[in-house]
Structure 1
Amino acid sequence: MAVKKLKDGTWQVDVSFGFDPITGERIRTRPIAKTKKEALALEANLRKEYEDIRARNKNAVGFSTLTSYYLKTCKIDSKPNYFQNQEYLINKHIADYFKKSDLQKISHREIINYREHLIDLNTLSNKSINNIMATLSKIFDTAVHEEIIKANPCKNVKRLPLTRNKMKFWRPEEFKEFINLIPKDQVMFRTFYTLAFLTGLRSGEMLALQWNDIDKILKEIDVRKSCTWVKGEFIVTVPKTKNSIRRISVNEKLLKLLEYWKTQQKKLFEELGILHSDETYIFQYKDIPSRKDIFSRKIKYFCKDSNLEPIRLHDFRHSHVALLINQGEDYITIKERLGHGSVQTTIDVYGHLYPNKQKEMADKLDDLL
C-alpha cells in the first residue's frame, strides 16, 4: 500500500523506484503528510518527478554519446581491425547525418530516408550501404539495451540486393607466368605468393606466421593466429573464427622454398644486425613485421610490363580453391583447408566454380541412343 495512516494520525507515503543496479538495494522514499489528501498528492508528485528525471536522462543522451557507448563495447568485444573499421564507417557516413537527431523521435521512416540518402550519393555500392545500415542497427541496439529507446527503428529494414561480381582468379599457368615475372633475387615475394597460391591462407594469417609454426616432419603449417596494423601498432589476434584454427598440409617443393627463404632471411638479418630465431615472422624483412600493403601493391608492379591481368591479394585464396576444384577435391576438404565455419559457406562462395553437373548428366544420355 503506497499511502497508510500512522498511529499518531499522520499519513505515510511509501514509494518505491525499483532497485539500485549496483547494490541491488531497493530505492524508496517514505515522507510524512498531515492528511490523506496531502499524502496522495505527494505520492503523485514524487512519481511524476521520478518519471521526469528518467525522461530527461534519456533525452540527454545524444547520438554522439550513444555512438561512444557502442564503440566502447565494440573495442572490448571485437578484434582491433573490426573496431577500426566501425569507427571509420561511423565517422565517414553516419555521425554527421544523425548528430542533431532526437533519438526518441527517430522512426522506421527516418531510417528508410537515410538509406535513400546513401543511395542518392551514387558513390556507394549496395554492399557498402548494407554494411553501413548494419552498423547503424548495432548503434540503435545499444540504445535499446541502455533503455534509451524501446525499439530499434532499423528493425525490418531489408538489405539491398547484391550483384555478385565475377570472381577473379589465376589458373596454374597464369600463376607460373606471374612468378616468372618476379626477379629471382626477390625470394621473399616469390615465397609469399607461392604460399598464398598453394595454401589459400588469408594475408593476415600468412603475415602472422613464425618459423616455429612450420612442422617439417609432418609437412604442415599450424595456423593459430592472424595479424593487423592498427594506428601504427602491430597486433596479433586469434584467427577470424574458431574453425580458422587449423593445420595446413603443404607439398615438399613449397617446404624447400620456405627453407631457402629462411636462409636468405638469416643473411639479411645479419647484415641489418637483427636477431633471427624460430620466433621470427616468416615474411619479415626489417626490424618490424611486414604490412600486407606492400604485397598488394607488388602484384600490379610485377605485372605492369606483361599481358597478365593483375588480381587482388585476396584473389590468391580464390585461385587456390579453383585449383583444388580442378583437381577434383570435395567441399568438405576445401572447407577444412580454408577454415570456413561450415560447408554451406564454401558452397555459397565457391559453388559456381564447380563443373555443371547437369551438363555431365545430359552428355551421358547420348550413350543410350
Structure 2
Amino acid sequence: MDRADLLQLWKKTLEKTKSGRTVITYLKSLQSFLRHVGEEDIIGVDPKKIYSYVDTSNLNTSSILTHLSAIKHFYKFAFRRGYVDREKYSQIESVIDEVREDVGRNLSQRYPKALSKEEVREILSAVSGTKYEKIYVLFLYSGIRLSEYLSLREDNFYQDKSGLLWIRLLPDMTKRKKERLVPVLGSTKEETYAVTDRLLAWIESYDENFRVKRGSLQVFTNRLSHRLGIPFSLHSFRHTYITNLVNSGFPAEVVKEFAGHSNVRTTIDIYYRFSHERARRLIENFLR
C-alpha cells in the first residue's frame, strides 16, 4: 500500500474514533513529520528520525507532545493492521516515550519546585469529578514518578494498623531498580487521613479511576497548565510532595528514601535550601 492510501485509511479510522478537531490536528501533525522524513518509506522509517524531528522543530512543548501522540497513533494503527511489524513499532514506541520523558524533565526544571496551596486548589478544582482529579491527587500525596505510576496496580497499595496508606514500588517499577515504600502524606494529619479515605475508595476500581495513557496525561496536563496560567507539569506534584516532607521536619535521609533519590546529596541540594519559615516552625515545635 502506498503512502497516500495508508494515510487515507488512517484518516477514516480517526474520523470514527476522534473528534473533528482532533482529526485535523493529528493529520497536520503527521504531515509535518512526513515532510521531515521526506521521500523515505514511512513504514520502514528509522525511529531516530523522531529525535531529529523534535530537535529541529520550533514547536512549543504542548505542540511537541501533540505531534508525538499523532505519530504514535499512526504507527500503532499501521502495526495493528499488519503494515508495520512488532519490532519496528516497539522501537518507535520506545523512542516516543523517551522523548516524552525528556520533555517532561525539561518542563520540571523550568517550573517552580513546588506548587502553592492556592495553585493546588485551582488545579484540582479545574479537574473536579474527573479521572484526572484522582490521578493528580495520587501524584500530589505520594510523590511518585510518572514511570512508576504507569506500572501501578491495586495490589501495590496497603494500609497499616495506624491507618496510613502506603505504596509498595517493586524493583522493576523504580528508577533505581530498588524496592521502595512510599507513604501517602499530606501537610497535616487531618489532611493525610482525609486523602487516604478518598484514595481507598478510588483504588477499589483502580483501572477505571486511574488508568490513563502516558501521552494523554501529559498532553492534558500541558493544556491545563496553559489554560489556567499556572506553570506546572506532572513532576511539579512530586516536587510539592517532597517539599511538604521537608517543611514538616522529616530528616534528609528519610526524605531520600521516600523520594527514591540515589544520593542524599540530591535531596539536600534541591530541597533543603534555607527557609526562614521552615526554621521558625522547627523552633516553635522545639519549644512546645
* TM-score normalised by L of structure 2: 0.50
- The structure with the largest alpha-carbon Rg is 1
Structure 1 or 2: more strand by fraction: 1
* TM-score normalised by L of structure 1: 0.40
Highest relative contact order (Cα 8 Å, sep 6+), 1 or 2?
A: 2
